[in-house]
C-alpha cells in the first residue's frame, strides 16, 4: 500500500471495511425480516396436459407479474397459493406455447399446452441478467443442465464438446482428478492465455472453475461468444461461460435421488509389438550398428543361427537367437522368455465410478429452497489402483421475498475434492507402459512383481500404494449473498448488492517409501523354480512432504437497474461496480530419514536435511460496468455495454481499460412485408455486434503461470551452495515494462436466427471476425541474447481470428414418437498479423501470417530404399547426417540450394487444436422411452507421433514393426527403425505429423420411465432408469495408435476415458 | 415502511462507497515473494545475495548426466538421442549444435554476464557501508565471474561481443559485432587482475570467487591465448576452415609475438604458484600411495581440497543433479546408468608405474593390462576385475566378490561349460541396455563410500573448476614452449611424484609430448581435454579417432571348475582385444569447423552483425 493515501477511514485496512459492510448487510436482513407481514392468499391447483392428453411434468406456473410460482409434477399436476391481487397464471414450458389464463377466482385451472418448438420465449442468462431469446442481440448459445447430466463424465468440462456451436472442448487426459477438457470459445485468439472466463452464479473466476460443479445442480450454461461479453470486459476477451445453478421451486417438498454406476476404460490403447517382434527389432538395431556393407550378411546370419562372422574374423552374436524368438512367440519358457502386454498387465478391463445425488426443493412463493448433496467416486484404470478421485459436495440455494420490494438470494457451496495417487505420476506410469519391454515380466510366473526399466518403475507396482501415496485435498466454500431492492416509488428501478466469498484450503501430502521388486537370482529352488531375489527400489528411506495452500476471494458488488416499457419503447439500464480481492498463502515442509515406514507423520522424520518453505500473494481488481438496452416493439433492438476495469496486473498509470460493446438486432419477421411474403419463416432476426474486450491474463510463454508485476523491477529468490550450506540468492526477475497495459479483443459478429414452419426448423448462423491487438508477448525472437535481458511481455502482438458457427435443428413428431435432430459446428482460423519475429528467418518459416503455434517441419519425401537410391541422390545431406544409409528418410530441398539444411523446414497452417468442431444431436421419445445421441467430430488438428524412447529401452508401436524398412523388405515409404529417436529423421518432419481428425459417438443415453401406476405402488412419484455412455465409439480416428484428442506424441500419458454408465432417478 | 427503506438506501449508499472506497489503493498490490530492485543495492546482505546468484550460471559444474568428456577421446556416451554424436560425428549445424550444456550455453552466459555487469555498475559507488571491505569483495567476485563467463564463451565460440553495459528495454539497436580474440583475452585478463586485487586478503568462503581463482583463470586464459589455435597464422596453416575465414582476428591473434604471449602466460601461472602451495607437491620421490593422493584431490578431502581453488559444491540438504555422478556413470550391474564410459584410447594412455608406455603389442602387458599401471588409473577407471562397492541386495548373490565384470566368462554348468556375460556388460542379466559399450566405467569423482548406494543416494563431491595443479601445468607448458625444459620438469615431476610416478627426463618435443599426456591423465574428466586438443590443434588425430572398446573373454583353465564367476587368474585365462566401436553406434570424425561451436541460427537471425564461425 502506498503511504500517500488520500482515502477516508479504512483505506489501509480493507478487512475492517469488509467487516463494516458485512455487518451492514446483516442489519438489513434483520430489518427486512421485521418488516415482513403475511399477505392474504388463495389456493389454485390443476393439471397440465399435452396434445396427447398426457400429463406434462416440469411446466412452470407463475402468477403473472410476480415471482410466485410452481412446477408441475410427473403427472402434470400443480398447486400454488395465489396472492389475492393475482390476476392470471402464466404456464410456460420449453417446446410449448406459453399460455396466460385469468384466475377470476377459480380454484382449479386445467390447461392444454400446444406444441411450440420455436422456443422464442426461452430465457437465456446473459451478463448480469437474463434476456428472452427473441430479444438477444449478441451471439449467445446455451445448454441446459438436463442435457449435461446425460453425460456420465466426472468432469463437467467433458460434457460440453459438440453441444454448443463455436465452443471446442478438447480432452487431453482421463486421469482421475485431472481429466478436464481445454475449452476454447471460437478457437485461438491470442498468443497468450486463451481460456474463457467462467462465471458461476454471477461471480467471475471462482476458485475451482467449472470442472467440478455437480451437473445435477446446473440449471443452464450460456456462452457469450461476441461483444455480448463486454460487460465482463476485463477478462472477457476469450468469451464468457455463464453457469447458473438451480434455485428452489415452490410447492411441497420434492425429493429426488439419482444413482449412477459407471465403468470406464481407455478409449484407445496403443497396439505395441510383442516380445518376439521386439526381439527381432533389437536384432535389427544391432545390425544397423555395423557398416552398411555388412547389414545383409549379418541379418541373414542372425536369422539363420543367431551369429554372424564379420570380415575381420570376429563373431557377432545376435542379442536374440532364433530360439529365443521362438520361445518368446510360443510362450514355452515364461521364466526366461516372457511375453508381456504391459497395458493388459497394468490396466483393468473396466474401472468403476459412481455418483449419488440427492436433491430437495420446495417452499412457498416467498421462501424457496434447493438443497443438493452429491458424492462421487472414481477409480483409475490401474489394477490395485492407488489413484482415484472422490468428491463430496453440498449446495444450498435460498430465495426469499421479504416483501414486495426486497428479495434475498443466498447460496452456499461446500465441496471437498480428494485426489489420490501413487508417488509416481501418471506420466511416469504410462511412460513405462509404452516403454515397457515386452520381453521382461510384469509378474514372474509365481506372482511376484518383475524388475523395472529404471528407477524402480515397474508399472504394475508403481500404480499401487507400494510406493507410498500422494494426496491432494481441496476444500472449497463458496458463498453468495444477493439482495435485490426495488426502489419504491420508482417503477422499474432496482438495486442489487452482492457479496461472494470463496475460500479454498488445499492440503497436499506425499509419503514416499521404498518398494520391492524381484530380480532373477542364481539357480533354482528345491522345486526347480528359479530363485528370485528381492530388490529394494525407490528412495533410500521414507520421506514426507506436506503442503498447505489457502486462498480467499472476496467479491463485493453493487448494481442498479432500471427496466421499463414506455408504450412501444422498452428500456433497460444497468450500472454496477465490483471490487475483487484474492489473498493466497502457502507453506510446505519436508522430512526424510523416518524411523519406520509405519509412521507417516511429520514428527517421526529425522532432523537431518529437513526442509520447509512458504510464500503468499495478493491480487485485486476494481470494475465498473453498464448496460443500456433499448427496443422498439421488440422489433428493433439496440444494446450498449461497457466496462471500465482496473487490474493489479498493470501499473497505476495504465491500469484502467475501457471496454465497450455495441449490439443491434432487427426482428425482420415482425415487419408486415415479411409476414406477407415469407409466412413459412415465422421468425427471422438479423443481428450484429462489435465490442472491445480486455485480457489481463498474461502467461509466461509456454506456461500457465500468470506473469504478475511485469512493470516492477523486482528480484526473485533462489539458493546456492556456499561453504557447504544453502545461501539465499537474488536474481533479476525481469527487465520491467512500465507501460504494460491491457490486451484488447476487437470482436465483430454478424448473425442470423430464424424459424420455419412455426418452429419445426430452427437455425442460427454467425460469422465472426476477431482482431486481438496489443497482445502481450516478450520480444524474445528479435532481441539478441547478448543483451542478457529477461524480457517482459510488451503490448506488441496482433492476431486475427475469424470463422463461423451455427446450428440447425428439426423437431418432429410421428404419433407417439417425438424427435429432434440438431447439427451444430464452429470453424475458426487464426493468423498472426504481427508479433516479434526474428528479422533473419526465411519467409517460409516465419510465424507471422500463420496460425499461432503452427508446426514447422522438414518435408518428408519418401525413403532411400536401397544403396542404389542413395547413390542416385544428388542432394547434400551433410548438414544433418554424416553418411546416408538405406532406410534413411528423404527430405525435400525446399529452398532449392541442393543441400538439406535447417532452412528446408517449412511452417504449415496447422496446430494441435482443431479448426472445426461440431456435433449432431438426436433425441427422441416414444411413450416411456427416451433416447439422446450425440455424435461429435473435429477436423484440422495435427499431432506429432514420436517413437520417443522406442529402442533398447522401450517398445515400438506394432504399426512400426509391420511397416518398417528392413534389409529383407526395403520400404520406400517407411524408414528404418531408430534407437531412442537417434536418427536425423526421428522427429520434426511431416512423416510423423499426422491428422487428428475424428468422429465419435460422444454421448448417448437411453432412458425408460416406469409407468406412474407402478411408481405409485412403490411410493415414488417418478422413477426413470437409463444407460448412457461417453466416448462410446470412435468411428473415425485418423491418428490411429492414440486417442485423436491426445497431445502427447509418445503416448506417455493417461489416456482418455470411455465410460458406460447405468443409473436411475427417483422422485418422491 | 418508509423508515427501513431509508435505512436500506443509506446502507446501500455506504456499501457502494465502501466498494469503490473513493480510491483504488487496494489494487496496488505488491509482490510478496520478491524484493524491489532499488532495495537490493542499498543493503549489503541483499547485494551479497545478488552476487551469489551470479554463480548460478555454473550449473552443475561438470556433473551433468552428459559430460564434456564424451565429446573427447576420454569417454563415449552410452545413451542415444542426446545430441552427443551430433558433435562427435562432426555434423553440428547452427540450427542443431548438438548437446550444449547450460554452463556453455551462449544465452545463459550472457544472462549471467548481465547480472555481473549490473552488480559492477551498482557496486562502483556502493550505497551501503563497506564494512570489512564487503563492497570490494562483492565487486571482486562479480568481476571474477564476468571474466569466467567470458572465458567460457571465448574458448567455445571464439571472440564474442564484449558487453560491459547494462541494457534497458526499448533501446534503438541491440545489434553488436564480435570483438577480436585479442580484445576478449585482454578484457578477461583485466577483470581477473582487478578481481584478484579486490579479493586479496579476503578469507575465501568455499564456492565463492577468490584471489587464487582469479589468478588461475588469468593463467588459463593466457595459456590458451599463447596456444596454436589462438595464433591466426598457425591456425590458418593447420585448419582448412580457418584458412577460408575472412575475419581471422575474431578467432586469433593476427599480430604480436607468440613468445611474449607465452611469457605472459608463464608469469600469470607463476603468480598462482607463488600464492599458495597446493597439495602434496613437495615430494622429492614418487609417493608410495599415489592412488590415495589422487583420490583425495578428486574427492576434495583429507587435504586434497587444498589443490582445489574454485569449485561447485553439492550437499544433501539440496539434492541436485550434480550429486548423482554415481547413478549417471556407475555400472549397470549396480542399477546405474553407465552414461560416460572411458574408451580404450584413454586407458591405453595410462603409463606403467615405471614410467614406460603401455603397449598391447607387448605380450606381458597385453595379458595383464591392468597390472602395474599409473596409480591414477586405479583411482579413475573401473575395469574388469576391479574391486568396487558391494552390489545391491538383488545382485549380491551373483557377485559376492564385489568386482567389476565387463567380460564374457566360462563357468561350469553341470558336466559342461557355458559362457556367461559379466554383470556390467550389455548382455548382463541386470539392465543390459545400460551397460558400457567400452568395457570400462568412470571411477574418478564417484564417492567410493559403500554407504552411498548410487542408484538412490546422492553424494557430496564438489566439481573443481580450477586446481592448483592446472596452474602448475600451465606454467610447465609455457616453460616448454619457451625452451625452459628444466624448470618445466621440476614442476611436472612434483605432480608425478605425488601420484607415485617416476620423474620425466625428456627434453624438447619429446618432453612436450610427455607433458601433454601427463596433463591428459592427471586432469582426466575435468573438461580440459576438449580444449587442450583444440588449442594444440591435435584434435583431428585425437578427438577424431574412432572410439574403441575392450573385448574380454575369460576361459577356464584346464581342470578348473567355477560355478559362480569371480575375477581369478589362477582359474582363468583372460584374453583382451581392443575393438572399434561400431559406426552405427558412434562414427567419430573430425572436421575443422568443430574447433568452435556454431553460433545459433536464432541468434544470428536476431543480430545480423554476428559473423558465423568458419565451416558452418
| Average confidence (pLDDT) over B393-397 | 90
Q: Residues of A350-384 as b/e, b for ≥16 C-beta within 10 angstroms?
A: ebebbbbbbbbbbbbbbebbbbbbbebbbbbbbee
| Ramachandran quadrant class, A577 (left: phi over 0; alpha: psi -120 to 50; beta: rest) | beta
Among A685, A680, A669, residue whose Cα is nearest residue A131: A685
Q: Could you give the percent of chain A with pLDDT greater than 70?
A: 95
Other beta carbons within 10 angstroms of residue B93's beta carbon come to 17
- Name the most confidently modeled range: A149-153, A920-924, B474-478: B474-478
| Distance set, CA B610 to CA B166, B178, B599 (Å) | 20, 6, 9
Q: What is the pTM of this model?
A: 0.89
Most confident of A512-521, A949-958, B137-146: B137-146
Taking a C-beta distance cutoff of 8 angstroms, is the pair A665, A750 a contact? no
What pLDDT, in 10s, does the model give residues A306-362? 999 999 888 999 999 999 999 999 999 999 999 999 999 999 999 999 999 999 999
Angle at A721 between CA A716 and CA A727, to 5 degrees: 50
Q: How far apart (Å, rounded) are the C-alpha atoms in residues A806 and A918? A: 9
Rounded (10°) CA dihedral B150, B152, B158, B163: -20
Q: Does residue B431 register a pLDDT over 60?
A: yes
Nearest CA in chain B to A452: B431
Query: Closest Cα partner for B31 from A619, A201, A244?
Result: A619
d(CA A230, CA A626): 10
Q: How far is B288 from chain A (nearest CA, A)?
A: 32
| pLDDT at position B518 | 98
Least confident residue range of A228-237, A537-546, B57-66 = A228-237
User: How far is Cα B523 from Cα B468, in angstroms, rounded to an integer?
Assistant: 11
Cα distance between residue B161 and residue B183, in whole Å = 10
Provide, as residue numbers in chain A, all residues whose Cβ is less than 8 Å from the Cβ of B393. Answer: 533-536
**Cβ-nearest to A533 among B110, B397, B585:** B397
CA distance A894 to A903: 8
Per CB-CB distance under 8 Å, the chain A contacts of B38 are 713
Query: Residue for cell digits 620425466?
Result: B504
DSSP letter at A96? B
Query: Would the pLDDT of A80 be above 50?
Result: yes
- What integer is the mean pLDDT of A963-972? 96
- B interface test, pick of A784, A878, A903 with most B CB neighbours within 10 Å: A784
The A residues from 314 to 343 touching B (CB cutoff 8 Å) are 314, 319
Grid cell 453441444 is found at A163
Which pLDDT tens digit goes with each residue over B539-579? 999 999 999 999 999 999 999 999 999 999 999 999 999 99
CB–CB of A731 and B175 under 8 A?
no
Rounded to whole angstroms, how far apart are CA atoms B310 and B145? 11
Q: How far from A1050 is each of A34, A99, A941, A982, B127, CA to CA, in Å? A: 67, 59, 17, 15, 54
Please check whether residue A230 is in contact with residue A691, taking contact to mean a CB–CB distance below 8 angstroms. yes
CA distance B552 to chain A (A): 13
Going B112 to B117 to B118 to B119, the CA torsion angle's sign is positive
Counting Cα atoms < 13 Å in the Cβ hemisphere of A926 gives 6
Q: Categorize the per-residue pLDDT at A1019 as very low, low, confident or very high, splitting at 50, 70 and 90.
A: confident
Least CB-CB distance to A535: which of B25, B313, B393? B393
Looking up cell 535389427, which residue turns up?
A: A284
Return the pLDDT at A626.
93
Which of A270, A309, A292, A568 lies closest to A433, judged by CA? Answer: A270
Q: What is the 3-state secondary structure (H, E, C) of A990-1007?
A: CCCEEECCEEEEEEEEEE
Task: Give A106: exposed, middle or buried? Use CB within 10 Å, 0-12, 13-18, 19+.
Answer: middle
Mean pLDDT value of segment A535-551: 94
DSSP state of A197: E
Most A CBs within 10 Å, among B6, B7, B12, B337, to test the A interface:
B12
Residues of chain B with C-beta less than 8 angstroms from the C-beta of A487: 9
Q: How many CA atoms lie within 13 A of A742 on its CB side?
A: 24
- Is A704 within 8 Å of chain B by CB? no
pLDDT digits over A159-184, tens only? 888 889 999 888 989 999 999 999 99
Give the Cα separation of A630 and A639 in Å (integer): 6
CA angle B273, B274, B277 (to 5 degrees): 60
- What are φ and ψ of residue B234, in 5° steps? -65, -45
Is the distance from CB of A646 to CB of A652 less than 8 angstroms?
no
Q: Tell me what pLDDT residue A42 has.
A: 80
pLDDT at position A11? 39
Question: Is B4 within 8 Å of A647 when comparing Cβ atoms?
Answer: no
Helix axes of B44-54 and B106-123: crossing angle, nearest 10 degrees: 160
DSSP code of residue A449: B
Beta bridge partners of A1023: A1066
Say if the Cβ atoms of B36 and A725 lie within 8 Å.
no
Q: Which residues contact B191 (CB under 8 A, 6 or more apart)?
A: B143, B144, B146, B147, B150
- pLDDT above 90: residue A684: yes
Tell me the C-alpha distance between B82 and B72, whole Å.
Answer: 15
What is the average pLDDT across A824-833? 95
Q: Which chain B positions have a beta carbon within 8 Å of A618's beta carbon? A: 29-30, 32
% of chain B surpassing 70 pLDDT: 96
Supply the ipTM of this predicted assembly.
0.95
| Burial of A861 per CB tally in 10 Å (0-12, 13-18, 19+) | middle
The cell for A121 is: 420465449
Reported as a pLDDT band with limits 50, 70 and 90, residue B3 is low
* Chain A residues lying within 8 Å of B392, measured CB to CB: 535-536
- At residue B15, the pLDDT reads 57
Q: Strand ranges (DSSP E) for A945-1021? A: 993-995, 998-1009
Q: Are strands A251-266 and A1057-1067 parallel, antiparallel or unpaired?
A: antiparallel
HSE, side-chain direction, 13 A CA sphere, residue A687: 33
Query: What is the 8-class DSSP label of residue A648?
Result: T
- Residue B12: which pLDDT band, with cuts at 50, 70 and 90? low
Q: What residue has cell string 559485432?
A: B177
Contacts of A525 (CB under 8 A, 6+ apart): A531
Residues ≥6 apart with Cβ < 8 Å to B450: B389, B390
Amino acid at each position: 500500500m502506498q503511504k500517500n493515501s488520500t482515502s477516508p477511514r479504512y483505506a489501509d485496512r480493507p478487512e475492517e471495511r469488509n467487516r463494516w459492510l458485512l455487518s451492514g448487510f446483516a442489519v438489513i436482513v434483520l430489518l427486512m425480516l421485521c418488516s415482513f407481514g403475511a399477505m392474504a392468499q388463495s389456493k389454485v391447483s390443476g393439471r397440465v396436459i399435452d396434445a396427447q392428453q398426457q400429463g406434462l411434468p416440469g411446466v412452470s406456473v407463475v402468477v403473472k407479474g410476480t415471482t410466485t410460482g410452481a412446477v408441475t409434477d410427473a403427472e402434470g399436476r400443480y398447486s400454488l397459493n395465489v396472492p389475492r391481487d393475482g390476476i392470471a397464471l402464466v404456464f410456460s414450458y420449453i417446446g410449448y406455447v406459453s399460455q396466460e389464463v385469468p384466475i377470476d377466482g377459480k380454484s382449479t385451472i386445467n390447461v392444454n399446452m400446444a406444441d411450440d418448438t420455436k422456443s422464442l420465449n426461452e430465457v437465456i442468462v446473459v451478463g448480469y441478467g437474463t434476456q428472452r431469446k427473441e430479444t438477444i442481440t449478441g451471439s449467445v448459445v446455451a445448454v441446459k443442465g438436463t442435457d449435461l447430466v446425460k453425460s456420465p463424465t466426472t468432469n463437467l468440462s467433458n460434457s460440453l464438446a459438440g453441444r454448443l456451436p463455436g465452443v471446442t472442448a478438447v480432452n487431453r487426459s482421463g486421469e482421475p482428478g485431472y481429466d478436464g477438457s481445454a475449452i476454447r470459445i471460437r478457437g485461438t485468439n491470442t498468443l497468450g492465455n486463451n481460456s474463457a472466463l467462467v462465471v458461476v452464479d454471477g461471480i467471475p473466476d471462482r476458485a475451482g472453475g467449472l470442472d467440478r460443479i455437480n451437473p445435477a445442480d446446473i440449471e443452464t450454461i450460456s456462452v457469450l461468444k461476441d461483444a455480448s461479453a463486454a460487460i465482463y470486459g476485463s477478462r472477457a476477451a476469450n468469451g464468457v461461460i455463464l453457469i447458473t445453478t438451480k434455485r428452489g421451486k415452490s410447492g411441497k417438498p420434492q425429493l429426488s435421488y439419482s444413482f449412477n454406476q459407471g465403468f470406464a476404460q481407455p478409449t484407445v490403447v496403443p497396439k505395441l509389438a510383442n516380445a518376439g517382434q521386439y526381439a527381432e527389432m533389437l536384432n535389427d538395431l544391432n545390425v544397423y550398428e555395423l557398416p552398411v556393407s555388412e547389414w545383409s550378411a549379418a541379418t541373414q546370419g542372425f536369422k539363420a543361427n543367431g551369429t554372424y562372422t564379420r570380415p575381420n574374423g570376429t563373431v557377432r552374436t545376435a542379442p536374440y537367437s532364433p530360439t529365443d524368438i521362438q520361445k518368446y512367440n510360443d510362450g514355452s519358457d515364461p521364466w526366461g522368455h516372457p511375453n508381456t502386454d504391459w497395458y493388459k498387465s497394468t490396466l483393468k478391463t473396466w474401472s468403476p465410478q459412481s455418483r449419488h445425488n440427492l436433491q430437495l426443493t420446495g417452499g412457498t412463493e416467498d421462501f424457496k429452497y434447493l438443497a443438493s448433496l452429491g458424492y462421487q467416486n472414481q477409480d483409475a484404470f490401474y489394477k490395485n489402483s492407488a489413484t482415484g478421485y472422490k468428491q463430496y459436495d453440498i449446495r444450498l440455494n435460498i430465495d426469499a421475498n421479504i416483501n414486495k420490494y426486497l428479495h434475498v438470494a443466498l447460496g452456499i457451496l461446500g465441496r471437498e475434492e480428494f485426489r489420490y495417487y501413487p508417488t509416481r505420476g501418471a506420466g511416469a506410469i504410462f511412460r513405462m507402459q509404452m516403454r515397457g519391454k515386452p520381453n521382461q515380466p510384469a509378474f514372474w510366473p509365481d506372482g511376484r512383481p518383475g524388475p523395472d526399466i529404471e528407477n524402480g518403475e515397474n508399472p504394475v507396482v508403481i500404480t499401487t500404494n507400494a510406493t507410498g501415496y500422494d494426496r491432494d485435498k481441496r476444500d472449497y466454500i463458496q458463498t453468495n449473498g444477493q439482495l435485490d431492492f426495488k426502489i419504491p416509488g420508482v417503477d422499474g428501478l432496482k438495486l442489487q448488492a452482492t457479496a461472494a466469498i470463496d475460500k479454498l484450503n488445499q492440503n497436499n501430502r506425499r509419503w514416499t517409501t521404498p518398494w520391492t521388486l524381484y530380480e532373477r537370482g542364481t539357480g533354482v529352488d528345491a522345486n526347480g523354480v528359479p530363485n528370485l531375489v528381492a530388490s529394494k527400489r525407490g528412495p533410500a528411506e521414507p520421506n514426507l512432504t506436506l503442503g498447505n495452500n489457502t486462498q480467499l476471494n472476496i467479491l463485493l458488488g453493487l448494481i442498479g437497474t432500471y427496466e421499463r416499457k414506455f408504450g412501444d419503447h422498452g428500456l433497460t439500464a444497468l450500472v454496477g461496480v465490483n471490487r475483487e480481492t484474492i489473498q493466497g498463502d502457502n507453506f510446505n515442509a519436508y522430512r526424510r530419514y523416518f524411523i519406520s515406514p509405519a509412521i507417516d507423520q511429520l514428527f517421526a522424520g529425522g532432523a537431518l536435511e529437513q526442509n520447509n518453505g512458504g510464500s503468499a500473494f495478493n491480487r485485486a481488481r476494481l470494475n465498473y460496468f453498464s448496460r443500456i438496452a433499448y427496443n422498439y416493439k421488440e422489433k428493433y433492438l439496440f444494446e450498449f455495454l461497457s466496462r471500465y476495469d482496473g487490474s493489479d496486473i498493470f501499473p497505476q498509470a495504465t491500469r484502467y481499460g475501457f471496454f465497450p460493446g455495441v449490439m443491434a438486432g432487427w426482428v425482420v419477421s415482425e415487419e408486415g412485408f415479411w409476414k406477407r411474403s415469407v409466412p413459412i419463416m415465422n421468425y427471422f432476426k438479423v443481428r450484429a455486434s462489435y465490442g472491445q474486450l480486455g485480457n489481463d491474463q498474461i502467461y509466461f510463454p509456454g506456461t500457465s503461470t500468470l506473469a504478475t508485476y511485469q512493470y516492477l523491477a523486482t528480484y526473485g529468490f533462489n539458493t546456492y551452495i556456499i561453504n557447504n550450506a544453502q545461501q539465499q540468492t537474488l536474481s533479476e526477475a525481469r527487465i520491467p515494462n512500465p507501460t504494460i497495459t491491457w490486451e484488447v479483443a476487437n470482436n465483430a459478429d454478424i448473425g442470423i436466427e430464424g424459424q420455419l414452419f412455426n418452429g419445426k426448423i430452427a437455425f442460427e448462423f454467425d460469422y465472426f471476425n476477431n482482431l486481438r491487438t496489443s497482445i502481450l508477448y516478450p520480444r524474445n525472437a528479435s532481441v539478441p541474447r547478448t543483451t542478457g535481458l529477461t524480457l517482459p511481455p510488451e503490448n506488441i502482438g496482433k492476431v486475427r481470428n475469424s470463422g463461423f458457427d451455427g446450428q440447425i435443428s428439426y423437431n418432429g413428431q410421428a404419433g407417439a414418437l417425438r424427435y429432434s435432430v440438431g447439427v451444430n459446428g464452429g470453424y475458426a482460423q487464426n493468423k498472426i498479423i504481427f508479433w516479434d519475429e526474428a528479422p533473419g528467418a526465411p519467409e517460409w518459416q516465419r510465424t507471422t501470417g500463420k496460425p499461432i503455434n503452427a508446426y514447422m517441419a522438414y518435408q518428408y519425401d519418401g525413403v532411400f530404399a536401397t544403396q542404389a537410391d542413395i547413390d542416385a541422390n544428388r542432394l547434400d545431406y551433410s548438414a544433418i547426417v554424416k553418411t546416408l544409409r538405406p532406410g534413411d528418410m528423404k527430405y525435400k530441398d525446399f529452398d532449392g540450394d541442393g543441400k538439406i539444411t535447417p532452412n528446408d523446414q517449412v511452417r504449415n497452417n496447422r496446430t494441435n487444436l482443431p479448426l472445426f468442431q461440431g456435433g449432431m444431436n438426436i433425441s427422441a421419445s416414444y411413450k416411456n422411452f427416451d433416447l439422446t445421441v450425440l455424435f461429435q467430430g473435429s477436423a484440422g488438428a495435427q499431432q506429432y507421433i514420436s517413437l520417443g524412447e522406442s529402442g533398447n529401452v522401450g517398445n515400438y508401436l506394432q504399426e512400426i514393426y509391420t511397416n518398417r524398412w528392413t534389409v529383407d523388405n526395403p520400404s520406400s515409404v517407411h524408414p528404418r527403425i531408430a534407437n531412442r529417436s537417434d536418427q536425423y529423421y526421428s522427429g520434426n518432419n511431416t512423416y510423423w505429423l499426422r491428422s487428428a481428425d475424428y468422429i465419435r459417438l460422444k454421448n448417448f443415453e437411453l432412458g425408460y420411465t416406469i409407468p406412474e401406476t407402478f411408481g405409485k405402488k412403490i411410493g415414488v412419484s417418478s422413477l426413470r432408469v437409463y444407460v448412457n455412455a461417453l466416448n462410446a465409439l470412435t468411428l473415425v480416428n485418423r491418428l490411429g495408435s492414440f486417442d485423436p484428442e491426445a497431445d502427447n506424441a509418445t503416448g506417455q500419458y493417461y489416456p482418455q476415458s470411455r465410460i458406460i454408465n447405468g443409473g436411475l432417478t427417483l422422485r418422491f | 415502511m418508509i423508515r427501513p427503506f431509508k435505512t436500506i438506501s443509506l446502507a446501500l449508499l455506504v456499501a457502494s462507497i465502501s466498494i469503490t472506497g473513493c480510491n483504488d489503493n487496494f489494487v496496488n498490490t505488491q509482490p510478496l515473494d520478491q524484493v524491489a530492485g532499488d532495495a537490493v543495492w542499498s543493503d549489503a546482505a541483499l547485494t551479497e545475495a545478488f552476487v551469489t546468484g551470479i554463480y548460478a550460471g555454473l550449473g552443475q559444474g561438470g556433473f551433468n548426466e552428459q559430460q564434456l568428456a564424451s565429446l573427447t577421446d576420454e569417454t563415449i556416451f552410452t545413451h542415444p538421442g542426446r545430441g552427443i554424436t551430433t558433435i562427435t560425428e562432426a555434423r553440428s549445424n547452427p540450427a542443431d549444435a548438438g548437446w550444449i550444456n547450460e554452463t556453455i550455453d551462449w544465452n545463459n552466459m550472457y544472462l549471467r554476464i548481465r547480472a555481473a555487469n549490473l552488480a559492477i555498475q551498482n557496486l562502483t559507488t556502493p550505497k551501503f557501508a563497506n564494512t570489512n571491505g564487503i563492497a570490494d569483495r562483492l565487486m571482486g567476485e562479480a568481476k571474477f565471474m564476468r571474466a569466467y563467463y567470458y572465458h567460457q564463451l571465448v574458448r567455445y565460440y571464439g571472440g564474442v561481443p564484449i558487453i560491459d553495459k547494462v541494457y534497458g528495454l526499448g533501446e534503438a539497436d541491440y545489434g553488436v559485432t564480435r570483438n577480436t580474440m585479442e580484445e576478449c583475452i585482454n578484457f578477461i585478463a583485466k577483470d581477473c587482475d582487478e578481481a584478484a586485487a579486490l579479493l586479496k586478503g579476503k578469507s575465501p568462503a568455499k564456492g565463492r570467487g577468490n584471489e587464487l581463482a582469479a589468478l588461475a583463470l588469468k593463467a588459463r586464459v593466457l595459456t590458451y591465448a599463447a596456444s596454436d589455435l589462438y595464433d591466426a597464422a598457425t591456425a590458418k596453416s593447420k585448419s582448412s576452415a580457418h584458412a577460408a575465414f575472412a575475419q581471422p582476428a575474431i578467432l586469433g591473434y593476427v599480430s604480436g609475438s607468440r613468445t611474449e604471449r607465452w611469457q605472459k602466460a608463464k608469469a600469470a601461472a607463476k603468480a598462482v604458484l607463488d600464492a599458495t602451495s597446493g597439495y602434496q607437491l613437495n615430494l622429492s620421490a614418487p609417493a608410495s600411495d599415489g592412488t590415495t593422493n589422487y583420490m583425495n584431490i578428486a574427492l576434495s578431502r583429507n587435504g586434497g581440497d587444498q589443490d582445489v581453488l574454485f569449485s561447485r559444491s553439492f550437499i544433501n540438504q539440496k539434492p541436485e543433479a550434480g550429486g548423482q555422478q554415481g547413478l549417471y556413470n556407475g555400472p549397470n550391474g549396480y542399477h546405474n546408468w553407465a552414461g560416460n564410459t572411458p574408451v580404450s584410447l584413454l586407458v591405453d594412455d595410462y603409463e606403467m608405474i615405471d614410467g614406460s608406455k603401455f603397449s598391447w603389442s607387448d605380450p606381458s602387458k597385453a595379458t595383464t593390462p591392468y597390472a602395474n599401471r599409473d596409480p591414477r588409473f586405479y583411482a579413475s577407471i573401473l575395469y574388469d576385475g576391479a574391486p568396487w562397492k558391494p552390489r545391491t541386495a538383488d545382485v549380491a548373490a551373483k557377485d559376492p566378490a564385489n568386482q567389476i565384470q565387463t567380460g564374457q566368462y566360462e563357468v561350469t554348468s553341470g558336466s559342461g561349460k557355458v559362457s556367461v556375460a559379466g554383470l556390467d556388460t550389455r548382455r548382463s542379466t541386470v539392465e543390459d541396455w545400460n551397460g558400457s559399450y567400452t568395457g570400462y566405467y568412470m571411477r574418478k569423482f564417484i564417492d567410493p563410500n559403500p554407504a552411498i548406494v548410487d542408484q538412490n543416494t546422492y553424494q557430496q563431491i564438489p566439481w573443481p573448476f580450477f586446481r592448483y595443479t592446472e596452474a602448475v601445468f600451465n606454467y610447465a607448458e609455457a616453460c616448454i614452449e619457451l625452451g625452459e625444459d628444466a624448470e618445466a620438469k621440476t614442476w611436472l615431476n612434483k605432480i608425478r611424484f605425488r601420484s607415485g610416478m617416476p620423474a620425466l627426463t625428456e627434453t624438447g618435443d619429446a618432453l612436450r609430448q610427455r607433458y601433454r599426456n601427463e596433463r591428459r591423465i592427471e586432469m582426466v574428466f575435468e573438461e580440459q581435454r576438449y580444449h587442450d586438443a583444440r588449442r594444440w590443434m591435435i584434435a583431428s588425430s585425437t578427438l577424431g579417432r574412432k572410439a574403441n572398446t575392450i573385448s574380454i573373454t575369460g576361459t577356464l583353465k584346464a581342470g578348473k571348475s567355477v560355478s559362480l564367476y569371480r575375477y581369478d587368474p589362477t582359474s582363468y585365462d583372460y584374453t583382451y582385444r581392443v575393438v572399434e566401436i561400431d559406426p552405427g553406434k558412434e562414427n567419430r570424425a573430425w572436421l575443422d569447423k568443430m574447433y568452435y561451436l556454431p553460433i545459433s541460427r536464432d541468434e544470428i537471425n536476431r543480430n545480423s552483425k554476428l559473423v558465423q564461425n568458419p565451416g558452418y
